[in-house]
Amino acid sequence: MTTLLGGTRPYTLNAAGIPLSAILALPEGSAPRSTILAIHGRGMRAAYWNSFIPLATSLGHAVLAVDRPGYGDSANLLPEGQGLAAQAESLHAALKEHAAGHDIGAGVFLLGHSDGGKVALHTAATDGGVPLLGLDASGVGYRYNPEALHFPSTLGGGATKLNWGPLPLYPRGTFQASRALLSPTPPRESAETLRWPAQYEDLADRVRIPVRLTFAEHEAWWDLDPAVLTAMAARLTSSPRVALEHLPAAGHNISLGHAAAAYHLRVLMFLEECLPPPGA
């Protein structure tokens, strides 16, 4: 395979016979302390996490940034895509296959954005045989902002403000460069959009790992009323720790904005808290 920057290379995960294209990045000179499964949002690709990968590997973690089922190499095999729960099953199968041949460190830490955060929560709510350390998600809430419900659930159709927030939150050239990240949203994924609140209510009490949820200051897809977010956290009754955080000067696509570095550092700080003590 072609090697990219710092031990980063294209990679293919085997999800029970479904090929999932991915980016695999390993720390240099040592075994990984953990493996981070980075799960992109709706209409994006694994490269959404490009700015996160160097920081994570510099701190000793492996990163698997995956093209979700229905995206990338699996798009032709799954032209309708998969529902969120089915995507979680596929990711569990892929993780199990990967762990059989690679050192994953202390376990797998789930990192999800937007619909990828929904898939991460589904993944955390089911047992796939690979130890999960914790979950960090941004851009995924409990109840939609009422003003967002009349927009199509895609990156187009007039939803630009919802997906990005104020344009000055992003470096010059971001929108031109981001075109390479875009991918059609599979129909099955789009069809589930309005069912998310009920799905979350069903899965939340089955999540048994620490959870951190981050909401951008200019997040427009979700209802950010404190009572709604408190209710979201309260449903995670089996999680040993739940943190709700707000990130100033950020829009929905946090990892593409000026606030990305601050957010990524906070992700990795939370991961440190989820790792077992040395010698445990």
pLDDT beyond 60 at 158: no
As a whole-number percent, the residues of the chain with pLDDT over 90 amount to 79
pLDDT band at 280 (very low <50, low <70, confident <90, very high): low
What is the rounded CA–CA span in Å between residue 41 and residue 48? 8
As a whole-number percent, the residues of the chain with pLDDT over 70 amount to 94
What is the rounded CA–CA span in Å between residue 134 and residue 248? 23
What tens digit of pLDDT does each residue of 163-198 get?
888 889 999 988 778 788 888 889 999 889 889 999
What is the three-class DSSP state of 62? Answer: strand
Ranges of each domain in the chain: 5-274
What tens digit of pLDDT does each residue of 34-85 get?
999 999 999 899 999 999 999 999 999 999 999 999 999 999 999 999 999 9
Q: Indicate the fold that domain 5-274 takes in CATH.
A: Rossmann fold (3.40.50)
pLDDT beyond 50 at 240: yes
pLDDT at 5: 45
What tens digit of pLDDT does each residue of 116-140 get?
999 999 999 999 899 999 999 999 9
Structure tokens at 127: 């047992």
Average pLDDT estimate for 193-209: 96
pLDDT beyond 60 at 2: no
pLDDT at 4: 43
* pTM of the model as a whole: 0.93
pLDDT band at 90 (very low <50, low <70, confident <90, very high): very high
- Average predicted confidence (pLDDT) for the chain: 92
Give all strands of the β-sheet with 132-138 in edge-to-edge order. Answer: 8-15, 18-25, 62-66, 35-39, 108-113, 132-138, 211-216, 242-247
What is the rounded CA–CA span in Å between residue 118 and residue 189? 11
Phi/psi of residue 184, nearest 5 degrees: -60, 140
Structure tokens at 166: 């104020």
Amino acid making up residue 81: G
